[in-house]
Amino acid sequence: MSHQSKLGCLLMVAQLTANISLASATASFPTYELTSSKKFSSELLADIAASSFVGVDGNFHFITSVASYAAYDDGTSFTKTVTGDDFGELVNTFSSKTPTRKYNSYWNKTGSMCYQLNKRSINPIPSLYQDDHCDIVGVWIDPDSKAWLGIVNDEYQFNPWVFSGEDQNSRIRTGKHTNRVMLAKSSDQGTSWEIVDQILTDRLQPNQTVTEALFPNTTFSYGLSGTRFYIDYIHGYAYALYNSQIREKKSFATIATANHLARAPLQNGLAPSTWRKYYKGRWDQPGIGGIDGTVGDPLGLQLIYVPDSDYIAYEGTGADGKRVKYQATPFARGGNFKFFDGSETEYVVDTTAKVLRLAKTGQLVSTVSYLDPALNRTITVGPGASNLVVNSTDRYGVLASYSPVSNYHIFKDTVTGRLYVPTRTLSEAAFTYNVYSDRYRSVGYDNYVLTNQNVGSVTYSIISDLYGSIDTITQVTHNTNQSAYSAYRAPRDASGNAIKSDVEYKISVGTSALDIGSVNQWYLEPVKDTHNPQYISGFYRLRHTVKLNGTTQYLQALGATPALQRKIGATVALGPPQKLYDANGRNGYGSPGGSDQWYILPFGGNINQPLDSSTSQSIVDKAQNTSLFDVSGAKLVNRNSGLVLGVRYGKFELLFNSFAQNEAAKLIVHKN
C-alpha cells in the first residue's frame, strides 16, 4: 500500500488503512477483521485510555486512571499501576494478590497531584475554582532520571458559564468543564505522581480561564482534550494527538471540532518548554498558547473560530484548487435549512417532517446526491435510521455522516451553498510503526484504545479499559480486486539489498562485530504472523550458523524470568529456540514468545530541537525531516522489551532506545 511516510504529512491524508469496517468489496486499501474479543476484570477498568509499558527492571506495567465526579474522597479517583509478566498473564490471573499501586488522585485531597494548582510554590497553574480532575493518558520512561513521565488530561473550571452561587461539588456534578494537557512525573514507579507543568493550552484562553470578555456571544472554545500519546523512536520525538471543540454556552453542545498534533524532543525529557504544535506545515507554535493547526482533514482544511462574531468555519483550498469556506450555519430546532447541489439546484430540508423539497417548486425529493468537485467526495442527503442525514463518501467508499437534525447546525460553503461533512479521521487514534510494511499507521477503533504500542504488525491487539476488552485485529488477505495493499517491505543490508532468510550475513552493532559464538555468521529468520501464517510478521530471529550439540542457536536476552530478560542491561547470548506467541495461551488472552525475537527499527537523520518563528530555514528543514524515505540507519530492537541491542563496557546488552546513541547502536548487515 502506498502511504505517506512522513508523520507530519501522514496526518493530512484521507482515512488511513488500519480502521475497521470501512472498506467496500473492491477497496484498494487493506481491510481488517476482528478475530477474537475477550473481556477482563472490572478492576482494570477506567474512563480514559490506559497505558502499558515495560519498566527499567523489566516488569510489565498497566496503568489506568479515573477522575470521578464524586462529592467526597470515596476512592473512585485514582491512577492505578498493575504489574505482571505480560498483559495476558495479568488479566488471566488478576486477583487481590496481583501487585498493584493505587495512587489517590481525588481533586480535593491535600497533596494529590492536581490539588489547588494555582497555589503551588513552583510552577503555579491557573485554576479558578481549584477543581482540576486529572488522568494519566500515556507514559514514557526518561532514560536519564528513570522517572515515569505521563501525559495528563485535565478537566477544570466546571460549569464555566455560571460565575457565582455554586460550590465546587455543585459545579462538578454538571459534568461541564474546560480542558488542557499537562505533564506528570512519578519517581517511585507509580506509587505517587506530581504535576510538572502545563504543556498544551488553548490560545483562546490566554490565562486558561473562560470569561465573558473572551467569549462574548453564544459560543466558546472548550479547550484541548482527547489526548493520545505516541513515542516515535525513529526520529526522537514524543507526539500528543488531541482535539479542540467549539461549543454552545447554553447547551454545551459541540458545533465543530478538529484534531491537532504537538511534539517534544525525547532528548529534552519532554520538558514543558520544548513542546511545539503543528501549524501549516511547521512545528513552531509553542505548546502554551500557540495556534493549534488542524490535522487529519483530507484537504488540510483549518478550523477557524472568531469568538466576537461566533464565526465558525472550515477553510482552505478544495480539491479543484478553489478557495472554500464551510461555515457553521445554525437553524432552529425543528426548522428548515437550504443548500445547493453540484448543478446549483437549491433544496430545502424540512427537519420536522424529515423530507427534502425543491426550493423553487416545493416538490418532494427522496434523496439528493452529487459529486462535489471541491471535496472530491459524493454528498448524499436523504433519510437515515430516524432522521435525515448528510453522507460524505470518498472514492474508497469511506463514509462520514452528519445529522443536522441532531446538531442544529449545518456546514455550507459561503459561495456555492454546497454542504460539508467534517471528517475526523484521527479522532483519539493510536499511532504505531508497522514493522511489516515499514510505515506509520493510525489505528482508529474506538475512543479508548491504548496509544503507546510503538510497533504493530499484520495482526495487533487493541485494549480498551473503558469496555474491559482485548480485541485482536488482523489484516484480511488481499484479493484480485485490490490493486494496492499493505505490502511487506524487507529491511536492507549494507549494500542496499533486501535481506533474505536464506542468505548468510555478518552483523555489527556500531563498531562491534556481533561475534557471539565461534563465528560472526547469521541468518535473519522471519517469524510468522500470530494469526495469519501466510504472512511474515516483520519480526525476526537471528539464527547462528553453528549448532550446539545439534541444536540450532538463536540470539536472545538472558535471564531466569521474563522480567530479567527485559530489564535494562540484560546481556545477550546464544541459546535454543524459545517459544512463539500462543494465541490460545492464558485462557485465550495470549502468551508472548521468548526473548529471541527482534525487529529492525530505522532511525532518521533529522536533528532534535524545538523550533520557533525565528529558527533558520536550514534548521527547520533538518528538524522536520521525519520521512521514512530518508533514514540514516537502523537499530536492532528486542520485541518483548522495546530495548535496543547496544554495547556497554565491551558487552552486548539491552539499552534504552536513545536517539543520541543512534550511531553507537547502528545495525550493519553485510552479506557473507
**Strand ranges across the sheet with 399-402:** 368-372, 377-383, 388-393, 399-402
pTM: 0.93
- Please give the sequence-ordered ranges of beta strands (E in DSSP) within 409-557, or none if there are none: 409-413, 419-420, 430-434, 439-443, 455-456, 459-464, 469-475, 505-509, 512-513, 522-528, 536-544, 554-557
Alpha carbon separation from 428 to 439, 450, 494 (Å, rounded): 19, 10, 39
- Check pLDDT > 60 for residue 517: yes
pLDDT digits (tens, 9 = 90+) for 524-576: 999 999 888 889 999 999 999 999 999 999 999 999 999 999 999 999 999 99
Q: What is the pLDDT of residue 430?
A: 82
* Phi, psi torsion values for 393, nearest 5 degrees: -120, 130
For residue 20, what pLDDT is reported? 25
* Beta carbons within 8 Å of 515's beta carbon, 6+ residues apart: none
104-118, 286-300, 380-394, 575-589: least confidently modelled range: 380-394
φ/ψ of residue 618, rounded to 5: -65, -40
What is the arithmetic mean of pLDDT over 326-339? 89
- Closest by Cα among 647, 635, 567, 633 to 601: 635
Give the pLDDT confidence of 40-71 residue by residue, as tens digits.
999 999 988 889 999 999 999 999 999 999 99
Cβ 5 vs Cβ 629: under 8 Å: yes
- Give the pLDDT of residue 13: 26
* Identity of residue 23: A
Taking alpha carbons only, the member of 297, 294, 267, 255 closest to residue 278 is 294
Residue 192 has pLDDT above 90, yes or no: yes
More confident residue, 642 or 351: 642
pLDDT(329) > 80: yes
C-alpha–C-alpha distance, residues 267 and 605, integer Å: 15
Q: In sequence order, what DSSP letters do the residues of 141-208 get, joined into one string?
A: E-TTT--EEEEEEEEES-STT--SS--HHHHHHT---EEEEEEEEESSTTS--EEEEEEE--TT-TTS
Structural domains of the chain, with CATH: 35-253+263-296 (no CATH), 315-420 (no CATH), 505-671 (2.80.10)
Q: Which three cell numbers stand for residue 241?
A: 494527538
Is residue 29 very low, low, confident or very high in pLDDT (cuts 50, 70, 90)?
Answer: low
Other CB atoms within 10 Å distance of the CB of residue 481: 10
Question: By 3-state DSSP, what share of the chain in percent is helix, strand and coil, each rounded to 5?
Answer: 10, 40, 50
Is 498 a residue whose pLDDT tops 50?
yes
Question: What are the DSSP E strand ranges found in 341-438?
Answer: 346-350, 355-358, 364-365, 368-372, 377-383, 388-393, 399-402, 409-413, 419-420, 430-434
Q: Are 27 and 1 in contact (CB under 8 A)?
A: no
Question: pLDDT tens digits, residue range 634-669?
Answer: 999 999 999 999 999 999 999 999 999 999 999 999
Cα–Cα distance, 152 to 549 (Å, whole number): 54
pLDDT one-digit tens code per residue, 248-295? 999 999 999 999 999 999 999 999 999 999 999 999 999 999 999 999
Whole-angstrom distance, CA of residue 100 vs CA of residue 23: 41
Confidence class of residue 482 from pLDDT cuts 50, 70 and 90? Answer: low
Question: Is the predicted pLDDT of residue 189 greater than 50, yes or no?
Answer: yes
Query: Residues 6 or more apart from 622 whose CB is under 8 A from it?
Result: 606, 607
CA angle 302, 308, 310 (to 5 degrees): 55
H/E segment holding residue 603: strand 598-604
- When pLDDT is cut at 50, 70 and 90, the band that residue 384 belongs to is confident
Nearest to 505 by CA among 516, 521, 489, 494: 521
Q: Identify the three-state secondary structure at position 406.
A: helix
Question: Partners of 133 in the beta sheet?
Answer: 155
Q: How many helices (H) and strands (E) would you count in the chain?
A: 7, 43
The pLDDT of residue 5 is above 50? no
Could you give the CA distance from residue 392 to residue 379 in angstroms, rounded to a whole number? 5
pLDDT at 9: 32
At 322, the pLDDT band (50, 70, 90 cuts) reads very high
Provide mean pLDDT across the span 343-348: 97
The more confidently predicted of residues 475 and 30 is: 475
Question: From the centroid of its chain, how far is CA 158?
Answer: 27
Read off the pLDDT band of 511 (50, 70, 90).
very high
Residue-averaged pLDDT of the chain: 91
Nearest to 13 by CA among 357, 440, 538, 623: 440
The residues, ordered by sequence, that sit 6+ positions from 96 with a Cβ below 8 Å of its Cβ are none
Phi and psi angles of residue 566, each rounded to the nearest 5 degrees, phi first? -105, -5
Q: What is the pLDDT of residue 450?
A: 59
Rounded to the nearest angstrom, the gap between the alpha carbon of residue 39 and the centroid of all alpha carbons in its chain is 23
- Rounded Cα distance between 592 and 590, Å, is 7
CA distances from residue 632 to 152, 233, 605 in whole angstroms, order as listed: 33, 13, 5
E-strand spans in 438-553? 439-443, 455-456, 459-464, 469-475, 505-509, 512-513, 522-528, 536-544
DSSP conformational letter for 24: -
Residue 538: name the closest of 634, 419, 415 by CA.
634
Task: Give the C-alpha separation, 579 to 576, whole Å.
Answer: 10
Cβ pair 532, 458 in contact under 8 A: yes
